[in-house]
Amino acid sequence: MATYVLVPGGWHGGWAFDAVARRLEDAGHEVVALTLSGLDGGPAAGVNLDRHIADVVAAIETATGPVVLAAHSYGGMVIAGAADRAPSRVAALVFVDAYVPDDGDSVWSLTIPRYHDFFIAGAAADGLTCAPPPHLDARCRPHPLATFVQAIRLTGAWRRVGTKIHVAATGWEGNPFVELNERLRADPAWRTHHIDCAHDVPRLAPAALADILLDAAPLRQGDHDADT
């Protein structure tokens, strides 16, 4: 049995993975679907990327068995940082239409101009949080702006995780993650997948995503130990 730690994208909470989590639990796995600090009803002041990484590290440290870290969109920054801090506890990393950063990157440095516009417009009210774009689910919450602009600090230890997977959603025009997916496809350290849907993969294609996640789980504890 693996423990899946699921990290949502910007503005979202753990509820975004509800349908995926049910499938993983039905297969006998433990699931922790996180709602990150500042998006959980608590104060957003002072919440930055480091704080979100710490949220995930805490979940890893309390997990039983091998951990599969999976994240959507912005959450790719977070799981890369968490795995960099605790690589021996992570059996697999799954980036779902998500950023895959190098040391010094931020969401701001990696994203496309259209999202720069979203961030600036969304932060107009208080300069601290970014309001969700109007087309998103009503449960979405303002996102701490510092998490989008803080540069990540990585030692490279996260690359030692044995299984690294990137999933690109091919059903939306201008998806910047498709090009990233193509680059990673040429790297033997990565496995890549395409899902034909728009960006919100966990909610639009939960069955297809759950199948990919289940395939990422080590078959037994020994498989995880061999990778680390």
pLDDT tens digits, one per residue of 73-104: 999 999 999 999 999 999 999 999 999 999 99
pLDDT at 110: 97
Active site annotation includes 73 = yes
Higher-scoring residue by pLDDT: 20, 223: 20
| Residue 114 is assigned to a structural domain of this protein | no
Cβ–Cβ under 8 Å, residues 100 and 69: no
Question: What is the C-alpha to C-alpha distance for residues 210 and 33, in angstroms, rounded to an integer?
Answer: 13
For a pLDDT cut of 70, what percent of the chain falls above it?
Answer: 96
Q: Report which of 67, 42, 65, 64 is spatially closest to residue 52, judged by C-alpha positions.
A: 42
For a pLDDT cut of 90, what percent of the chain falls above it?
Answer: 89
Which residues pair with residue 70 across a beta bridge? 6, 94
Q: Is the pLDDT assigned to residue 163 strictly greater than 80?
A: yes
pLDDT at 219: 61
Instruction: Work out whether the CA dihedral 135, 176, 195, 104 comes out positive or negative.
Output: negative
Question: What is the C-alpha to C-alpha distance for residues 11 and 132, in angstroms, rounded to an integer?
Answer: 6
| Residue 226 is assigned to a structural domain of this protein | no
Average pLDDT, the chain: 94
> What is the rounded average pLDDT of the residues 21-36?
98
Tokens representing residue 9 in the block: 């994208």
pLDDT at 223: 43
pLDDT at 226: 33
Q: Is the pLDDT assigned to residue 54 strictly greater than 50?
A: yes
| Residue 128 is assigned to a structural domain of this protein | no
- Banded model confidence at residue 218, pLDDT cuts 50, 70, 90: confident
Condensed to tens digits (0 to 9), the pLDDT of residues 107-144 reads 999 999 989 999 999 999 999 999 999 999 999 999 99
Torsion-angle region of residue 65: left (phi > 0), alpha (psi -120 to 50) or beta? left
Q: Is the pLDDT assigned to residue 162 strictly greater than 90?
A: yes
Q: Is the pLDDT assigned to residue 222 strictly greater than 60?
A: no
- Banded model confidence at residue 26, pLDDT cuts 50, 70, 90: very high
Ranges 9-13, 62-66, 100-104, 212-216: which has the least confidence? 62-66
Question: What is the C-alpha to C-alpha distance for residues 88 and 65, in angstroms, rounded to an integer?
Answer: 12
Instruction: Please pick, among 37, 73, 106, 109, the residue that the annotation labels catalytic.
Output: 73
Task: Please state, in angstroms and as integers, the Cα–Cα distance from residue 182 to each residue in 167, 186, 194, following that order.
Answer: 10, 7, 10
Q: Is the pLDDT assigned to residue 228 strictly greater than 90?
A: no
| Residue 65 is assigned to a structural domain of this protein | yes
Grouping H, G, I as helix, E, B as strand and the rest as coil, residue 15 is helix
Q: Report which of 192, 213, 197, 194 is spatially closest to residue 22, judged by C-alpha positions.
A: 213
Domain total for the chain? 1
State the CATH number of the domain containing residue 207.
3.40.50.1820
Q: Is the pLDDT assigned to residue 27 strictly greater than 60?
A: yes
Q: Report which of 62, 66, 82, 95 is spatially closest to residue 222, judged by C-alpha positions.
A: 66
Higher-scoring residue by pLDDT: 205, 44: 205
Show the domain range for 40: 3-103+153-218
